[in-house]
Amino acid sequence: MTPLTHLVVAFGALLTTAGAETPRAAKPLIVVATTPDLAALAKAIGGNAVDVKALAKPTEDPHFVDAKPSHIVTLNRADVLIDGGAELELGWLPSLLESARNSKIAAGAPGRISVSQGIHLLDVPTSFDRAKGDVHAMGNPHFMLDPLNVRVIVTQIADRLTKVDPASAALYHANLKWFLGTLDQKLLAWQKELEPFRGAKIVTYHKDFVYLAERFKLEVVETLEPKPGISPSPAHLAQVISRMRSEKVRVILVQPFQSRKTAETVARQTDAVVLDVAQQPGALKNTATYFDLMDSIVHTLATALQEKR
Amino acid sequence: MAPMRASGAYMNVSFVGLTGFDWSTSKDVGALQVGDHEPHVRGFAIPNAELALDGTVDPYLKAFANVVYKLDSNGETGVELEEMFFLTTSLPGNLQVKGGQFFTEFGRQNVQHPHSWAFADQPLALNRMFGPEGLRSQGLRISWLLPTSFYTEATMAVLNSAGTTTYSFRSEESSAIHGGLPIERAVGGAGDMLYVPRVATSVDLTSTQTLLMGVSGAFGPNNSGSSARTQIFGTDLYWKWKSPTAHQGFPFVAFQSEALVRRYDAAARDGEANPSLTLPSESLRDRGVYAQLLWGIKPMLVAGVRADYANGDHARYPVLDAPEGVNRSRYSTNLTWFPSEYSKFRFQYNYDHRTGIGNDHSLLLQFEFLLGAHAAHKF
């Protein structure tokens, strides 16, 4: 065959295939999530009816995502935007939305799901004073590690997806039912695994595990950052070390983007262990879904607390 | 729970205060950097204090205003409505209109406010073409986000062409460019407006590297004569790498460069120094380029180097003493430390070579603070 015949045959085949594809599957809803944890929930609820993209990388600090032009394009084409809504994305999302000019995902539109609405936020400041560091005015935005918050959030996501895309309502509700059932079972298992360590004291880098601690009855006694968003200083670390020694705190949690070196320095002087944990699914191995992520965090914590008893 | 805002329910309010301490071997410090930006005296300076207001007007519009207070070399305070514009949020067809007074989208740095600059001073190329205040004026800008798979945005601004902030066009200061007395030139039609088209495009080279490029133009009348015109062309490039495990946005490496050329068609005009002398009509060409590299070493610490070059095809009869017209190269290095997101210290050294004037060394120290709402960062 000549190249031209090739082309004609290929083109013909293309037309036939396109014609044969009836009834055509509905185009998936384009769902953009600011962070991978929200994206994982959207995938769980939306299934094949949605095409989900996360803006932040799982390994990077979600407070400081670059407002890259490619994100403008992603947001411009979105049918639904899921954001935390408690100022976690305050440093980068507003300028992206301004450039994206997409009224479907504007605040108040059905396509905009700000999940912190309906969540009881912790650490809500009683006064606004930046001498206390970069405290979020609405409260602590790292609320996804409390499974009961996730219960509220997935329900909200399913309701909104149904509103925006009623054709797939049955799928969203079936997925929600499955997710909530699994979550309830898992929560019992996680609570059981951590029950022996009720009241155990831990140290974290940032104030990003307070919801986990609250739900599973752990106590975050110190953070390596002296104040939210302020880099650890030698004076503050000395204070953390002395407190860890006197209260026998043996576990320090760090996320992939936080300074492991700082945590190791403290751990060496306190006979503690540094635990690599992540809040974003996909940042560490075998943590692609919310359940995998929580399994990993709970198991890592329980193992370390057992060993360091 | 009702959302609560730290900075007011319907409007973000912020105040940026910039203070400096500068020293230079040049006795005429003010000639090193035009306008009120540093360095402008030996000693302390308050080159910029901005009151910024922004918010959503209604479901269709956002608005922004920037009021600048600045102290000149005698300590006199000047107040300026630097920017004030509305921005549409929901026009169809991926269009967006901005109207009011605003820094025009030409190149990369022109739209940035001093607190977003990576160096204490402005690149020479921008100073030469746009004067001390940057290119901004009253008008309208329409932008179209193209339906391409990668980011491509086309913008077109139509602006008034008169005033200090349209330096290369109908500006009272234009005699610094052409050496003659500026004429009174009224607006007669569409050709007397300033047109600023721009196309910018960006691709993510890898998941950690982004490239942003643009070409811009500025076309309008100048006041050396009744039909004289100016054309400015510019290209810009920005490349950034950010670690996949970035903490507070660090570490990163960013490269930025802009090149500009200006063709200023000067009409036959009366000399400024000697009005009885008529200067012949001529076409003046100026060029300028800069390149800067920033290294975000670890959280809150950035080191930078910059090379600057500008040359001037100055008016054939340089009847006035205009140091900003000479061939000049400048090399700068700086270190910036952010104690928090809301304050910064910057230490900068400039080595300056100006043909016919000589070599100078300058030190610039800056301290800046921010009160109130923290505006979202742009890329």
Query: Chain B contact for A91, CB < 8 A?
Result: yes
Among A198, A210, A306, CA closest to A251: A306
Contact A138 B94 (CB under 8 A): no
pLDDT average, residue stretch B86-108:
96
What is the structure's pLDDT at B314? 66
Residue at token pair 């925006």? A164
pLDDT average, residue stretch B309-320:
69
- The top-scoring range by mean pLDDT among A175-189, B71-85, B180-194, B325-339 is A175-189
Query: Chain B contact for A264, CB < 8 A?
Result: no
Contact A73 B207 (CB under 8 A): no
Q: When comparing pLDDT for B334 and A13, which is higher?
A: B334
User: Considering only CB atoms, which chain A residues are within 8 Å of B56?
Assistant: 107
User: Considering only CB atoms, which chain A residues are within 8 Å of B342?
Assistant: 130, 134
What is the structure's pLDDT at A225? 95
What is the structure's pLDDT at B73? 79
Terminal CA-to-CA distance of chain B, rounded, Å?
A: 32
Contact B204 A68 (CB under 8 A): yes
Query: CA triplet A114, B62, A108: central angle to 5 degrees?
Result: 25
- The top-scoring range by mean pLDDT among A38-42, B45-49, B326-330 is A38-42
User: Considering only CB atoms, which chain B residues are within 8 Å of A57?
Assistant: 207, 244
What is the structure's pLDDT at B45? 87
Between CA A80 and CA A96 the distance in angstroms is 15
Work out the mean pLDDT of chain B and round it to a whole number. Answer: 91
**Confidence band (pLDDT; 50, 70, 90) for A8?**
very low
For residue B11, give both structure tokens.
């409007």
Q: When comparing pLDDT for A76 and A18, which is higher?
A: A76
Name the closest residue on chain B to residue A94, using Cα atoms: B376
DSSP string, A296-308: HHHHHHHHHHHHT
Return left, alpha or beta for A286; rule: phi > 0 is left, psi -120 to 50 is alpha, else beta: left
Contact B376 A230 (CB under 8 A): no
Between CA B173 and CA B189 the distance in angstroms is 23
**Confidence band (pLDDT; 50, 70, 90) for B21?**
very high
Nearest-CA distance A277 → chain B (Å): 13
Which residue type, as a one-letter code, is found at position B21?
A: F
Nearest-CA distance A102 → chain B (Å): 7
pLDDT average, residue stretch A120-142:
85
Express each pLDDT in B210-234 by its tens digit: 999 999 999 999 999 999 999 999 9
Query: CA triplet A69, A74, A77: central angle to 5 degrees?
Result: 130
pLDDT average, residue stretch B332-361:
94
Between CA B230 and CA B246 the distance in angstroms is 45
Return left, alpha or beta for A277; rule: phi > 0 is left, psi -120 to 50 is alpha, else beta: beta
Among B232, B259, B256, CA closest to B129: B232
Say if residue B38's pLDDT is above 50. Answer: yes
B347-373: b (≥16 Cβ within 10 Å) or e? ebebebebeeeeebebebbbebebebb
Nearest-CA distance B90 → chain A (Å): 5
B326-338: b (≥16 Cβ within 10 Å) or e? bebebebebebeb
pLDDT average, residue stretch A156-181:
98
User: Considering only CB atoms, which chain A residues are within 8 Å of B2?
Assistant: none
Contact B89 A103 (CB under 8 A): yes
B170-196: b (≥16 Cβ within 10 Å) or e? bbebbbbbbbbbbbebeeeeeebbbbb
What is the structure's pLDDT at A20? 41
Name the closest residue on chain B to residue A77, using Cα atoms: B147
pLDDT average, residue stretch B70-87:
91
Between CA A222 and CA B337 the distance in angstroms is 26
Contacts (Cβ under 8 Å, ≥6 apart) of A117: A85, A156, B1, B3
User: Considering only CB atoms, which chain B residues are within 8 Å of A60?
Assistant: 242-246
What is the structure's pLDDT at B347? 97
- Cβ-based neighbour number of residue B127 at 10 Å: 23
Contact B245 A91 (CB under 8 A): no
What is the structure's pLDDT at B323? 61
Say if residue A262's pLDDT is above 90. Answer: yes
Between CA B324 and CA B127 the distance in angstroms is 9
Between CA A277 and CA A305 the distance in angstroms is 14
pLDDT average, residue stretch A219-230:
93
Q: Are B145 and B153 in contact (CB under 8 A)?
A: yes
- φ and ψ of B97, to 5 deg: -115, 135
What is the structure's pLDDT at B238? 98
* Mutation target vs A (from B58, B91, B379; most A CBs, 10 A cutoff): B379
- Cβ-based neighbour number of residue B287 at 10 Å: 17
Query: CA triplet B179, B181, B184: central angle to 5 degrees?
Result: 140
pLDDT average, residue stretch B91-106:
97
Dihedral sign for Cα B175, B165, B132, B229, please.
negative
Among A70-74, B159-163, B217-221, B270-274, whose mean pLDDT is lowest?
Answer: B270-274
**Confidence band (pLDDT; 50, 70, 90) for B161?**
very high
- The top-scoring range by mean pLDDT among A125-139, B74-88, B322-336 is B74-88
What is the structure's pLDDT at B5? 46
Work out the mean pLDDT of chain A and round it to a whole number. Answer: 91
pLDDT average, residue stretch B328-352:
95
- Angle between helix axes A69-76 and A93-100 (nearest 10 degrees) is 60
**Confidence band (pLDDT; 50, 70, 90) for B316?**
low
Q: What 3-state DSSP class applies to B95?
A: strand
Task: Please state, in angstroms and as integers, the Cα–Cα distance from residue B11 to each residue in A85, B67, B96, B357, following that order.
Answer: 17, 15, 21, 49
Task: Please state, in angstroms and as integers, the Cα–Cα distance from residue B292 to each residue in A222, B238, B289, B305, following that order.
Answer: 41, 10, 10, 6
Express each pLDDT in A141-153 by its tens digit: 999 999 999 999 9
Could you tell me how many CB contacts below 8 A there are between chain A and chain B? Answer: 123
Contacts (Cβ under 8 Å, ≥6 apart) of A309: none
What is the structure's pLDDT at B8? 53
**Confidence band (pLDDT; 50, 70, 90) for B72?**
confident
Nearest to B89 among A85, A91, A106 (CB): A106
pLDDT average, residue stretch B353-358:
88
Express each pLDDT in B252-301 by its tens digit: 999 999 999 999 999 999 988 888 888 899 999 999 999 999 999 999 99
**Confidence band (pLDDT; 50, 70, 90) for B377?**
confident
Name the closest residue on chain A to residue B210, using Cα atoms: A68
Q: Are B152 and B258 in contact (CB under 8 A)?
A: no
Q: Are B97 and B141 in contact (CB under 8 A)?
A: yes
Between CA A280 and CA A265 the distance in angstroms is 25
Say if residue B319's pLDDT is above 70. Answer: no
Between CA B28 and CA B89 the distance in angstroms is 47
Between CA B77 and CA B45 the distance in angstroms is 12
pLDDT average, residue stretch A127-153:
89
Nearest to B212 among A69, A107, A229 (CB): A69
Say if residue B315's pLDDT is above 70. Answer: no
Say if residue A13's pLDDT is above 50. Answer: no
Q: Are B127 and B33 in contact (CB under 8 A)?
A: yes
Name the closest residue on chain A to residue B372, using Cα atoms: A130
Between CA A283 and CA A208 the distance in angstroms is 15
Among A2-16, A86-100, B186-200, whose mean pLDDT is lowest?
Answer: A2-16
Contact A66 B3 (CB under 8 A): no
ipTM: 0.93
For residue A155, give both structure tokens.
């329900």
Contact B151 A69 (CB under 8 A): yes
What is the structure's pLDDT at B333? 98
Among A197-211, B232-246, B269-283, whose mean pLDDT is lowest?
Answer: B269-283
Cα dihedral angle (B123, B129, B130, B136), rounded to 10 degrees? -120
Instruction: Residue window 95-114, chain A: list those with CB within 8 Å of chain B.
Output: 95-96, 98-101, 103, 106-108
User: Considering only CB atoms, which chain B residues are within 8 Å of A92?
Assistant: 376-377
Task: Please state, in angstroms and as integers, the Cα–Cα distance from residue B247 to each residue in A54, A57, A61, B296, B307, following that order.
Answer: 18, 12, 5, 11, 29
pLDDT average, residue stretch B55-72:
92
Q: When comparing pLDDT for B3 and B41, which is higher?
A: B41
For residue A213, give both structure tokens.
């601690």
Nearest-CA distance B20 → chain A (Å): 23
Nearest to B90 among A70, A103, A121 (CB): A103
Contact B377 A57 (CB under 8 A): no
Instruction: Residue window 208-247, chain A: list those with CB within 8 Å of chain B.
Output: 229-231
Nearest to B245 among A95, A117, A257 (CB): A257
pLDDT average, residue stretch B329-352:
95
Q: Are B304 and B118 in contact (CB under 8 A)?
A: yes
Nearest-CA distance B261 → chain A (Å): 27
- φ and ψ of B131, to 5 deg: 75, -175
Strands of chain A, DSSP E: 29-33, 50-54, 80-83, 112-114, 201-204, 219-223, 251-254, 273-276
Query: Chain B contact for A132, CB < 8 A?
Result: no
Q: When comparing pLDDT for B41 and B188, which is higher?
A: B188
User: Considering only CB atoms, which chain A residues are within 8 Å of B203?
Assistant: 70
Among A5-14, A20-29, A246-255, whose mean pLDDT is lowest?
Answer: A5-14
